[in-house]
Structure formats: structure tokens, C-alpha cells
Amino acid sequence: MLQTAARKGKRSTAKAAPQKSITRAASHERFLEAFRWMLLARTLEEKLVSLYRGGQITGGVYIGKGQEGVSVACGMFLQKGDVFAPLIRDQAGRSAFGEPLVDVARTYLGSVKGPMRGRDGNIHRGRPRDGQLAMISHLGAMVSVAVGALMAKRWRGEKNFVGLTTVGEGGMQAGAFHEGMNIAAVEQVPLVIVATNNHYAYSTPNDREFACSDLIERAVGYGFEGYRIDGTDLATCLDVIGGAVRRARAGRPPQLVVAEVLRLSGHGEHDDASYVTEEIKREPFARDCLKVAEKVIVDLHLIDGETLQSWRDEAAAKVEEAITTAQKEPGPDGGAENWCAISTRELVDPAE
Amino acid sequence: MSITYLGAIREAQAKLLRDDERVFIYGQDVGGTFGGAFKATKGLAKEFPGRVLNTPISEDAIVGTAIGAAIHGMRPIVEMQFADFSSLALNQILNNAGTHYWRTNVAVPITVRLPSGGTKGSGPFHSQSMESIYAHYPGLIVMTPATVEDAYTMLIQAVAIDDPVVYCEHKYLYYHLKADKLGNDGTPVGKARIAREGRDLTIVSYSAMAQESLLAAIELAREGFEIEVVDLRTVKPLDTDTVLASVARTGRLLAVGESFPWGGVTAEVIARVASAGFHLLDAAPARINAKDTPIPYHPNLWSTHRPNAKGIAERARKLLRE
């Protein structure tokens, strides 16, 4: 499963991983904790999709279905004082890092009480001072921002911190991503980049996205340590991404993990993903990581069916509570808005 | 003591590094023993170890890194080697820094220094004035100092401001302008200055064109005209009140800028005066900009492309007859 960047690999049509045991680093407890975050993310996003289809969410809905295993591993090993720069398919990781569900509900529903107060929506949310950077839509742009945040922490004498940012194979082709990855290595900041190859940049398949034989080879070129994993296998995600976070925290060079999955949704919920071929849906990486993880739990008798059902019920109740809370709250009022894009009020331009 | 506009920028940065441990300088060739393409950071890397850092040629990542550091408590100063290259950082400046406070309620105190404007022989890619682009987008403050004193004081103020500042320093003024002292007259940020008083016509300008406008005013004074020159100092915010008050005194407006003619600062000045002070005008307002072509290399072409004192005086004479 685990490949270092130095390994010459063929194009990554990864073989199905055997699901016999959970690797040592991922204890049963951790595996179950991760599974619960994944379950929560899936439940939340299914609810968001249903609200969107019912016309109750303005703008887009972007979900991480099929990527929860990778994402949760991104959030779970981070702690207070770390920096997390997630992208659009990282609900599981955001939750595991500590984002309250109500932040999500408020942002999607436009509540003034949310972190974005109706000024920005859906996945463009964050609490930058708490280490949750708020992504912009321009892919690759947040890599260097994470680098700067880590440099600031170093200058300010903080210890034992790490940063993690995510990207897709689509975003990996953006110029800003190249610059960000390079500058991370130049500055030798403790950064982990987790790239998920979900095989489509919106509708564009891998063969029109890049031409290197394996994206993980780029790690060497930038001075990163690199690992390629099957992103549908939660234990591997926890093991390898957790290991990358640990190594970065310990002062190793920046880390790149490339995870292979299939995006099990459209780019957004407006997109029926009709371009996803039947052939690719039969690939091993097309498995649903949540179902795979659940099978492991059942096969290994980690919890009984009753407990599993209670977890599902609990996730649904939490989601319901967050959504209901946000739905009761007012949206912003254009007439009452101060329309001021800078914090220094006396320097606001007097344009009409 | 005699200090140049460029020297003032260096001194301001030295003071900032000395007085505020949150400040660092980030950009291409700013560090080491080199001290920048124009030597605006000469000696600073040695004096402040680890705080004046060379970067890869990655304008986007340079600004992105500064943004991340600023969010987490630092006060970065980014030097773009030439303003022209800031086009490669537009996304970070406009879409990341410029939107951040509005979106997240967390301000981004970065200062991006842009060595701007034309000099002889510099051609299309080392001569641009980008202030109008930055002023057009929300969330940024755009400074355009026209004097040695302002170059010094406004850079110090830029770093103190909690919001992103695009600081357009003019390369033509680097060596052409000298002053005996640092520190300006206390005019606050965002306020324009009456650089020369007059009663016949108002020229509104900024940066190197404020200096050209002053030369034009001197020329016209010999002909008996009293030209008032308003130096905007910051183009965003644009001190509309000072401009209107001047036009109220003179009844005539000529706006002068060095950037391209479509839109821009001069258009904005005229739009605001026409909108709020139409009744103050005795003649149609006019403006002068560079030509609507890339900036030429050859001095014979460049000196025609770029507005200058002679052309400004000529246009002012015409306006005075109207």
C-alpha cells in the first residue's frame, strides 16, 4: 500500500487492498472514532443535498462522498495550535478538526450567526484565527497561505505545530499549487499536503489533467517525502496520513500523500456526473470508503449492530439540531449591512 | 542630510524592522548581501538576520505566504521586484487578501510594495502603474506617495494599518527626488495634500505625475496662471472632499495619471467631481494619461507615451481658455 516517492510506479490503477486487519497505528478505537466522523459527515451532507434539492439552499452544495476516509484522517491528527486549510470535500476532516456542525449549517443556510454571516457560503468558510483557514475558490491558493501561517508560528516561538492542506488532482495542476508546494519546501515548514485523486476535475478525467506516470513522483521533484495510498481504505488513510502528520511535526521535510478514490457525487449537486464512465466505477478505488469501513467493523466485530444503529441515530439527531438551529436564524439584511471591506473604518473610500 | 525617495523607503523599512518584531520583508532578491533589484533593502538582511528573506520567483506564493503570516500575527512587507510582476500575484492580492476581512472578520495586515511607473528604456514589462487595478477591487488601500517625506511616513503607516496596503512607489522618483529630512507634515493617511495653492485651475495627480504637475504649475506661473496642485497621496481611499474643495476654488479640473487611459484614477476623479460638484465647474473637466498602448522601450517613444510637465501645461492652457 505504502509507497515512497522514490519508488517507480505505474499509473495508479491501484489494486484492491486486502481488508483483513487494521494496521497497528490505527487502533480499533481510532478507527471507530474516524468512522463516526465519516458517518456524521455523510449524514450531514445527505441532509444538505436534500435541502438543496428542496430549494432551501442558495448557491451550490459540494460534498465529499467517497472521500470521507481521506478527509477524516486529515482532521484527526491535528490538534489545537495546528493549521488546517481544507478544500471542498473535507467535511469529515473539518468536523474531526473541531468545526461545529452549526457552523456548516449556518454557512449553507446564510445565517448571520455563522462565521461567514451570509457574506460567503457553503465550503468557503473558516475561522482563520483558530487555525481553520477559509478557502477561496482559486485552487492551489491556500497552500502558500498555510506556509505563511506556519512561518508565523515559528517566528512567534510556538512549538510542536503542524499544518495540513488538501487538494485534488485537479488543483494540483494549478500554477499556485506548484508555487505553494515549492515555497513550502524552501521554507521547510511542517506542512502535510494531502492530495486526493478522485479522477475527475469537474468533468475532466485524469488523461487530460496530467501526463506524469504517477502524481506521487512529484514529491521528489519538490523536496517532499511522498506516499501513495488507497483512499477507500480507512485504516491505511489513518496510518499513512497520521504518519505524515507525525513526521512533519517531528521536523521531517514537508509531506505529500496522494490518495486514490473516485468522487461518488457530481462536482456539486447541480452536476449529475453523467461523464463518469461505467468502466471507472468498477475500479477498486471506486469503492465507497464508508461502506468499506463499515464492513471492517462488522467483519471484525468491533461493535454490534445495535451500537452502529445508535451511532447513525445520533449523527442524524446532531445534524437535525444544527440545521434546525440555523433555519430559525435570520439571514443578513442588505439595508442594514455596513458594506465595508476593510477594518480601518476611517480609510473607507467615499465612493457612492 | 540629504536622502532620496529610495533611501527613505529603505530607512522606513529599517525603522519598521527595528521597532516591530512582527515585521519581516519577503521578496525576490531582497535578502543576502544584494538588498533588492533597486537596493531598497540594502544591508537589512545583515542587520536583521532571518527577517529579510529571499524568495523563489513565485509571486503568487510570496503574497500567499505573507497573507498566512499576517493572519497569524505578523506584519509582512512584500517587495514585488517590479509592479508589473504583481500581475502574477493578482489572485492572492485581490481574491485572498482583498476579500478576507469581509468574509471572515479577520483583517490581513500585509504591505505589498510595488516599484511602479516608467523610467527610460524599461519597456512594456518594467514600467507599469497598477494602482487603478488594485483600487478597483474592494478590500485594499492603495498608496501612491509623491514625495520623499511621504514615501517614508506612508510606508510606516502602511505597515501599521490592519488592512492590506498596496504601496506604489515610483521608480522615476527613486533617485530624482531628494529631501533634507524624513517625516512628513502630519497629513493623515487617506487625506490628499494641496501641494501648491492656486485659484485658476486644479490639477489632481499623484506619484510621479504630481511632480510633473508641479513643474507644469511653475511653468504656467510664469505666464501668470495660478495652478493648484492636489497630490492625492492615496488613490484609495480617494479624498474626494479635498478635490471638490479645490475645484470649488478654481472652477477647473485637470486630472493627471501615468497609467493607461481606459478607466482608472483620473476617470474616477472626474466622475466624482462631475457627480458631486458639477455646479462648481466652469469648464468641462479634462484628464491626461499615458497612451493606450504597451509602454514603449525607446526613449523617443516613451517620452511621448508618458505624460510630462510640458504636455500637462499645454492641456492646462487649453482648459484655462475654455
Write out pLDDT tens, residues B190-218. 999 999 999 999 999 999 999 999 999 99
Contacts of A180 in chain B (CB under 8 A): 60-61, 64
What is the CB-side half-sphere exposure of residue B178 using CA atoms within 13 A? 6
Tell me, what's the pLDDT at A11? 35
The pLDDT > 70 percentage for chain A reads 93
**What's the pLDDT at A22?**
58
A248 Cβ partners below 8 Å, 6+ apart?
Answer: A162, A163, A190, A191, A192, A254, A255
Ordered by start, the domain boundaries in chain B are 3-179, 193-321
Q: Which residues pair with A164 in a beta bridge?
A: A84, A192
Q: Which of A122, A179, A339, A345 to mutate to test the interface with B (most CBs of B within 10 A)?
A: A179
Q: DSSP readout, B168-211?
A: EEEHHHHHH-EES-SS---PPTT--EEEE--SSEEEEE-HHHHH
Whose cell is 449524514? That residue is A43
Q: What is the pLDDT of residue B116?
A: 98
Which residues of chain B have a CB within 8 Å of the CB of A120?
A: 99, 103
CB–CB contact B238 A350 (8 Å)? yes
The shortest C-alpha distance from B129 to chain A (Å) reads 20
Residue of B nearest to A163 (CA): B68
Residue B87 per-residue DSSP state:
G
Q: What is the pLDDT of residues B135-183, one digit of tens each?
A: 999 999 999 999 999 999 999 999 999 999 999 999 999 999 999 999 8
**Highest CATH level, class, for B193-321:** alpha beta
Average the pLDDT over B117-130 and give the result: 96
Nearest to A4 by CA among A175, A261, A253: A253
Q: Assess B112–A contact: CB distance below 8 Å, yes or no.
A: no
Nearest-neighbour CA in chain A from B98: distance (Å): 8
* Cross-chain CB nearest to A341 (options B65, B96, B138): B138
CA nearest B235: which of B149, B322, B129, B160?
A: B129
The answer to whether B215 contacts chain A (CB < 8 Å) is: no
Q: Is the pLDDT of residue A16 over 70?
A: no
Domain membership of residue A330 (yes or no) is yes
Could you tell me which residues come within 8 angstroms of residue B118 by beta carbon, excluding any fewer than 6 positions away? B127, B129, B171, B172, B258, B290, B295, B302, B305, B306
Q: Which of residues 18-37 of B touch A (CB under 8 A)?
A: 24
Chain A neighbors of B104, CB-CB under 8 A: 115-116, 126-128, 134
DSSP 3-state of A191: strand
CA distance to partner chain B, nearest, from residue A52 (Å): 22
Chain B from 259 to 278: CB within 8 A of any A CB: 268, 272, 275
B67 reaches A (C-beta below 8 A):
yes
Segment A3-11 shows an average pLDDT of: 37
Reported pTM = 0.95
Strand order in the sheet with B227-231: B193-196, B227-231, B201-205, B253-256, B286-288
CB atoms A182 and B56 under 8 Å = yes
Residue A125 phi/psi, 5-degree rounding, is: -110, 160
Mean pLDDT of A290-294: 98
C-alpha to C-alpha distance for B259 and B263, rounded to whole angstroms: 10
Mutate which of B94, B100, B103 to disrupt the A interface (most A C-beta within 10 Å)? B103
With respect to residue A287, please indicate whether it lies within any of the assigned structural domains. Answer: yes
Does B236 lie at the interface with A, CB-CB under 8 angstroms?
Answer: yes
Compute the average pLDDT of residues B255-266: 98
| DSSP H or E stretch at residue A3 | strand A3-4
Beta bridge partners of B227: B201
Q: At residue B293, does pLDDT exceed 60? A: yes
Q: Which of B26, B40, B17 is nearest to B171 (CA)?
A: B40
Q: What is the mean pLDDT of residues B113-120?
A: 96
Q: How far A40 CA lies from chain B's nearest CA (Å)? A: 25
A67–chain B nearest CA distance, Å? 26
- Say whether the peptide bond before residue B76 is cis (omega within 30 degrees of 0): no
Confidence class for position B184, pLDDT limits 50, 70, 90: confident
The secondary structure element, H or E, covering residue A259 is strand A255-260
Average pLDDT of the residues in B42-58: 98
Average pLDDT over residues A189-216: 97
Tell me: pLDDT of A330 over 80.
yes
CB proximity B49 to A under 8 Å: no
Looking at the partner chain, which of B103, B163, B275 has a beta carbon nearest the beta carbon of A342? B163
Q: Cell 472632499 belongs to which residue? A: B241
Q: What distances in angstroms separate CA B162 from CA A267, A341, B159, one per listed residue? A: 37, 12, 8
For the domain spanning B3-179, the CATH number is: 3.40.50.970
Choose among B263, B283, B288: nearest CA to B212.
B288
Q: Chain A contacts of B237, Cβ < 8 Å?
A: 347-350
Cα-Cα-Cα-Cα torsion A173, A177, A178, A182, nearest 10 degrees, comes to -160
For residue A83, the chain B residues in CB contact (below 8 A) are 68, 72
The pLDDT assigned to A9 comes to 34
Longest dimension (CA), chain B: 60
**Among A84, A103, A347, the residue to mutate for chain B (most B Cβ within 10 A):** A347
Distances (CA, A) of B103 to A140, A162, A203, A344: 19, 25, 29, 15
What is the residue whose three cell numbers read 439571514?
Answer: A331
Inter-chain contact B103–A150, Cβ cutoff 8 Å? Answer: no
Model pLDDT, residue A23: 56
Interface contact flag, A128 B71, Cβ < 8 Å = yes
- Give all strands (DSSP E) within A8-145, no chain letters: 83-85
Tell me the pLDDT of chain A averaged across its residues.
93
Residue A311 CA to residue A327 CA, distance in Å, equals 24
Lateral strand order in the sheet of B52-54: B52-54, B23-27, B75-79, B111-116, B165-170, B141-143, B234-236
Rounded to whole angstroms, the Cα distance separating B46 from B52 reads 8
List beta partners, residue B228.
Answer: B202
Taking residues A5-17, what's their average pLDDT? 36
For the record, the C-alpha cell of B315 comes out as 492641456
Confidence tier at A26 by pLDDT (50, 70, 90) = low
A334 in a structural domain: yes
ipTM above 0.90, yes or no: yes
CB contact under 8 A, A144 and B70: no
Number of structural domains, chain A?
Answer: 1
Could you list the beta-strand ranges (E) of chain B: 3-4, 23-27, 52-54, 75-79, 111-116, 141-143, 165-170, 178-179, 193-196, 201-205, 227-231, 234-236, 253-256, 286-288
Rounded Cα–Cα distance for residues A233 and A241 (Å)? 12
Give the CA radius of gyration of chain A.
20
Say which range, A7-21, A190-204, B27-41, B137-151, has the weakest mean pLDDT.
A7-21
Give contacts of B236 with chain A, Cβ < 8 Å: 349
Checking phi first, is residue B194 left (phi over 0); if not, alpha (psi -120 to 50) or beta? beta
Domain extent for A181: 3-347
Residue B267 identity = A
| Same topology between domain B3-179 and domain B193-321 | yes
The pLDDT of residue B1 is 74
Reply yes or no on whether B100 is catalytic. Answer: no
Residue A352 is assigned to a structural domain of this protein? no
- Please give the DSSP secondary-structure letter assigned to residue A132: B
At B64, is the secondary structure helix, strand, or coil? helix
Place of cell 527626488: B177
Report d(CA B45, CA B17) in Å as an integer: 10
Contact A176 B61 (CB under 8 A): yes
| CATH at residue A15 | 3.40.50.970
- Whether A347 sits inside 8 A of B190 (CB atoms) is yes
Task: Tell me the CA distances in angstroms from A214 to A66, A210, A340, B233, B256, one per residue in order.
Answer: 21, 9, 46, 53, 55
**In this model, does residue A205 exceed pLDDT 50?**
yes
Residue type, B232: L
A156/B102 touch (CB, cutoff 8 Å), yes or no: no
In A57-190, at which residue ranges do the beta strands (DSSP E only) sit? 83-85, 163-168
Residue A303 CB-density burial (10 A; 0-12 exposed, 13-18 middle, 19+ buried): middle
- pLDDT score at A331: 95
Contacts of A179 in chain B (CB under 8 A): 56, 58-61, 64
Strands B234-236 and B286-288: unpaired
Average of pLDDT values for B315-321?
98
A24 pLDDT above the threshold of 80:
no
Q: What's the mean pLDDT in A125-150?
A: 97
Confidence band for B25, pLDDT divided at 50, 70 and 90: very high
Cα B44 from chain centroid (whole Å): 23
- Closest partner residue to B73 (CB to CB) among A136, A152, A346 is A152
Residue among B126, B136, B176, B279 flagged as catalytic: B126
For chains A and B, count residue pairs whose Cβ atoms are closer than 8 Å.
Answer: 163
Q: With 80 as the cut, is the pLDDT of residue B91 above it?
A: yes
Question: In chain A, what is the greatest distance between 2 CA atoms, to the nearest angstrom?
Answer: 67
Chain B residues touching A84 at Cβ < 8 A: none
Contact assignment for B92 to A144 by CB distance below 8 Å: yes
Sign of dihedral through CA atoms B185, B141, B24, B101? positive
